[in-house]
Chain A
């Protein structure tokens, strides 16, 4: 049973370009979470999705950021018109049910560098 997969592992973009980060949850998991991590800091919650629905996006900036989890295919975190401050590691986690009582399994992350 493969773990959570994220791609690409490393992504370099110039200011103003778009970044698309993909996350394939573990088999049987319908809950996906995106977190951002800056160097020497903990993970900061961005968005929680459950198949085709956004449950909680309170941690996601209102502009330039969007997330989706379509019925078929991976979850996508999209950052439009990237700026240097978007440089960070972005982690995806998945769980079988809501995180309160179900373990979240984390992917290896995508490291975004904005030049």
Chain B
């Protein structure tokens, strides 16, 4: 089946630092998505990417859909304590279901 390799697995950073995480796959996806999950809650969509090469921003978050359609990255600039959580990438194919990476756990030290 399709698999997404997400890295890094965890990050410990100081408040104010920038963060970068990425996902790669051996399969092509038609849509890339980035979610944030907090303890005890479901994932919340941060950014959706629909076209290869697309670069999209949402506040301090920026994500890109790789030109090969097999990878994506998410950057968070000037991190703040409330950025703490688990970030997941996900890819969609025409089948409609989402394939998720295993997540990047972000810890921000004040």
- State the A residues within 8 Å of B (CB): 4, 31, 33, 35, 40-45, 48, 55-56, 58-59, 91, 93, 98-101, 103-109
Residue B66 is within 8 A (CB to CB) of chain A in the complex: no
Is the pair B96, A56 in contact by a Cβ cutoff of 8 Å? yes
Most A Cβ at <10 Å: residue of B44, B90, B94: B90
| A56 with B100, Cβ < 8 A, contacts A100-B31, A101-B50 known | no
Is the pair A41, B103 in contact by a Cβ cutoff of 8 Å? yes
Is the pair B40, A99 in contact by a Cβ cutoff of 8 Å? no
- State the B residues within 8 Å of A (CB): 4, 6, 30-31, 35, 40-45, 48, 50, 88, 90, 92-103
- Give the CA-CA distance A66 to B50 in the complex, in Å: 32
- Give the CA-CA distance A62 to B101 in the complex, in Å: 24
- Shortest beta-carbon distance from B44 to chain A in Å: 7
Q: How many pairs, one residue from A and one from B, have CB atoms within 8 Å of each other in the complex? A: 70
- Give the CA-CA distance A99 to B92 in the complex, in Å: 7
Please name the residue on chain A nearest to B100 by beta carbon.
Answer: A42
- Give the CA-CA distance A44 to B90 in the complex, in Å: 10
Is the pair B97, A59 in contact by a Cβ cutoff of 8 Å? yes
| A106 with B50, Cβ < 8 A, contacts A42-B88, A42-B102, A100-B30 known | no
- Give the CA-CA distance A36 to B93 in the complex, in Å: 19
- Shortest beta-carbon distance from B89 to chain A in Å: 9
- Give the CA-CA distance A98 to B93 in the complex, in Å: 10
Is the pair B98, A99 in contact by a Cβ cutoff of 8 Å? yes
Is the pair B100, A103 in contact by a Cβ cutoff of 8 Å? no
Please name the residue on chain A nearest to B105 by beta carbon.
Answer: A40
Apart from A42-B102, A108-B41: 11 A-B pairs, beta carbons within 8 A: A4-B42, A33-B97, A40-B103, A42-B6, A42-B88, A43-B100, A48-B95, A99-B97, A101-B50, A106-B43, A109-B41
| A44 with B100, Cβ < 8 A, contacts A107-B42, A108-B42 known | yes
Q: What residues of chain A lie closer than 8 Å to B97, measured between beta carbons?
A: 33, 45, 48, 56, 58-59, 99
